[in-house]
Structure 1
Amino acid sequence: GGDTYSITNQIGANWSVIQVETVVANGFTAVQTVTCSGTVAANGTVNASCPYVVTLNGGFWYSGTSTLTASLVGNTLTYTLAGQDLVGDTCQWTQTGTDTRIGAVPPPIVLPIPTPYDFNGDGKGDLIWRNTNTGSTSIWLMNGIVRASVGFPGGVPLNWEIAGIGDVTGDGKADVIWRNSTNGTVAIWLMNGTTVTSTGFPGSAPTTWVIQAVGDVNGDGKADLIWRNSSDGNTAIWLMNRTAMASVAFPGGVPLNWQIAGIGDMTGDGKADVIWRNGSNGAVAVWVMNGTTVTGTGFPGSTSTDWEIGGVGDFNGVGKADFIWKNDTSDIVAIWLMNGTSIASSKVLGGIASAWKIEQVGDMNGDGKADVVLKNTSTGEVKVWLMNGVTLIGIGSPDTVSPSWDIQP
């Protein structure tokens, strides 16, 4: 005979079934309890552990563990559960059952990495500019390689600097984080497209503390602020709730020859991780983050120090951040496709003229894959590389600007 169970959890999730049976043998009544739990793997294999206990007339009889493994056959997952022998008095039974899944096993869930520079919430990265002479700001709303529209949110005194861009409200639209270089005050523009809807002041810090990165480290959909003390190497994280600092923590200190080179979700868990670079020997390290806690540190590799990380983004659309590099001596550009804290593969894209600087990495066309924005420091020309993994699939030049305008931050 057999029993039928339905395991409906998504791949990678936990499932469990509990069965209680009454068995009569040789005039004694035994109660058998079997609890099976496990996971469904991406290839359709069901893995489970089935501890079970048999109670005879209210007393403990025996217990054990049986391992269940089954493979996908069409849409049917089958398993067999075997009992144990009681020493001196054989008592053994076998259960069989089936799990029928409707349709094919679904693919693993990929959490898309949103571009942090999307000001109007259309899923496409935009560009924010600052005039280094006047303090004026400008936003280009982008559609791939084309500038769809431009807006001018306003001007700010030059002792205020744009320290980062990120969605601090969770509305899917990027906001602007400012820092006063004179007194250390932090201000945030809440944005709706190119319009500043309100301004908040979450706090201040001594000017030895510098905002190094902006990203969602606790997975609540709201960007947080990562700080570094330029004097002693300590780090701090402000967990943000809109324009308010919800809490602050200090993950630890790192020697000053290590610099924060970027931030991105390396593991695909929806939480930003911190990428470090050693300025002395070129080593790369990754802090895997869970909120303000460093859960692990990985060292994917190293390069010569004339290579610089130009940006961090998910180039192949698998939900895990990758690195783009530029060599300051040879002007060669390369990409590391990452799998957590390990290099899955790497590719040299080619060389570009030394006047071109990688300004931004983000999904410019809404296909779920990071693209590259470059600016010519001599001419002011802007270019967008549309990427598919390590392949350049399109290139465009949306406009040329005065050299006094810089892409922020």
Structure 2
Amino acid sequence: MEFGSSNRGGGPWRAAAGIGAVVAALLIVPVAAQAEPVEQVAAGNYDYDGDGLDDVLARRDETGALELWPGDGAGGFRPRSTVGSGWGGMDLIETAGDLNGDGRADLLGRVASTGALNFYPGNGTGFDAPVRIGRGWEAMLTVVSGHDYDGDGNRDFLAVEAGTGTLWLYPGTGTGTHGRRTAIGSGFDRVRELTAIGDMDEDGHADIVAVRETDECMYFYGGPGSGGFEAPVLFDCGWDVLDSAASVGDFDGDGHADWLGRERASNLLYLFKGDGLGGYGSSPVVDTGWNTMTIA
């Protein structure tokens, strides 16, 4: 099975009819623009073994082992290795880009029993001892990271607060910590899957995509690079067939941001190959048996 191709201006990629209704459902609060550097597709976000190619991290749920699945630069994997143990106590594992500015990709993890959010500095072969970012993160439905959303050159966090549906921006400092948070959206409690996709439309700014649980439609939020997002655009619908999605940088080496999706019924893992226009060109199967894995 291959999912249909998509791009702006034709096919399943289309502007939502009645876009005002979409904005009301998932309100994006505009933020004043400022100068910003250009966002790079990969930018070291997903290279965990230092070979220059983007990789995938996943937890094997039955053992709690953290596995590195090295990318081969052409949309496939090289042999996996175990890079950590004891990750079964995490209810959130998220790729983080280079949070501390040392040139290596890092990881975020939330401890289920305490709600503490930890930062795991990458060392090129695994991860160093965790650094506590803070407690109280159990109040967040999801946390994503890995890209610069406010244009200061540092990797930021985005988090959706349970109960209120507020989308918060936690500006990164370049040292693995964050500054004072800012509310940049509301209504995101209706989102079941939020993915920090990188610069999907290649306008120089980091974007996000979100799947709403109410209609199983995916929406694209273009980042203006000033800390907020533009009005959502309907990507396409029928995403209930996937139960997990993760950004993987430029996984096939064509210069465009890609992402992985796991099909619920078959446990097949698909690579959605970005086309650089805000959509994707094809979605080949890259592996099977991922039903026991949590993708970072």
Using the alignment, how far apart are the partners of 1:232 and 1:130 within structure 2?
20
Q: Which residue of 2 aligns with 1:266?
A: 149
Structure 2: runs of 5 or more not aligned: 1-34
Q: Which residue of 2 aligns with 1:139?
A: 69
* Among candidates 255, 258, 262, match of residue 371 of structure 1: 258
For residues 208-256 of structure 1, give each alpha carbon's deviation from its aligned partner in whole angstroms, at most 9, with x where no partner exists.
Answer: 89766543223221234545454564545455656675894x5554463
Whose helix proportion is higher, 1 or 2? 2
Q: Which residue of 2 aligns with 1:359?
A: 245
Q: Given the two structures, how large is their TM-score scaled by the length of structure 1? A: 0.51
Amino acid at match of 1:401: T
Report if the CA contact (8 A) 1:216-1:224 is conserved.
Answer: yes
* Among candidates 98, 101, 104, match of residue 219 of structure 1: 101
Using the alignment, how far apart are the partners of 2:114 and 2:228 within structure 1?
29
Using the alignment, how far apart are the partners of 1:138 and 1:247 within structure 2?
18
Using the alignment, how far apart are the partners of 1:373 and 1:209 within structure 2?
20
Q: Which residue of 2 aligns with 1:313?
A: 197
Whose strand proportion is higher, 1 or 2? 1
Q: Does 1:331 align with 2:216?
A: yes
Q: Which residue of 2 aligns with 1:349?
A: 235
How far the C-alpha of 1:124 sits from its partner, in A, is 5.0
Report if the CA contact (8 A) 1:272-1:289 is conserved.
Answer: yes
Larger CA Rg, structure 1 vs 2: 1
Structure 1: runs of 5 or more not aligned: 1-41, 43-107, 157-175, 183-206
Q: Which residue of 2 aligns with 1:200?
A: none
Query: Secondary structure at the residue paired with 2:246?
Result: strand
Using the alignment, how far apart are the partners of 1:229 and 1:129 within structure 2?
16
Count how many residue pairs are aligned between Structure 1 and Structure 2.
255
Q: Which residue of 2 aligns with 1:110?
A: 38
Report if the CA contact (8 A) 2:242-2:264 is conserved.
Answer: yes
Higher relative contact order (CA 8 A, sep 6+): 2
Report if the CA contact (8 A) 1:227-1:235 is conserved.
Answer: yes
Q: 5 Å matches for 1:7-156?
A: 110-112=38-40, 113-114=42-43, 116-118=45-47, 125-127=54-56, 139=69, 141-143=71-73, 146-147=75-76, 150-153=78-81
Report if the CA contact (8 A) 1:331-1:352 is conserved.
Answer: yes
Q: Given the two structures, how large is their TM-score scaled by the length of structure 2? A: 0.67
Percent of paired sites with the same residue: 20
Q: Which residue of 2 aligns with 1:166?
A: none
Query: Secondary structure at the residue paired with 1:151?
Result: coil
Q: Does 1:280 align with 2:166?
A: no
**Aligned CA distance change for structure 1 residues 292 and 385 (closer, same or farther; 3 Å):** closer
Using the alignment, how far apart are the partners of 2:295 and 2:58 within structure 1?
6
**Aligned CA distance change for structure 1 residues 358 and 245 (closer, same or farther; 3 Å):** closer
Q: CA RMSD in A?
A: 3.9
Using the alignment, how far apart are the partners of 2:108 and 2:273 within structure 1?
29
Using the alignment, how far apart are the partners of 1:227 and 1:152 within structure 2?
21
Amino acid at match of 2:166: A
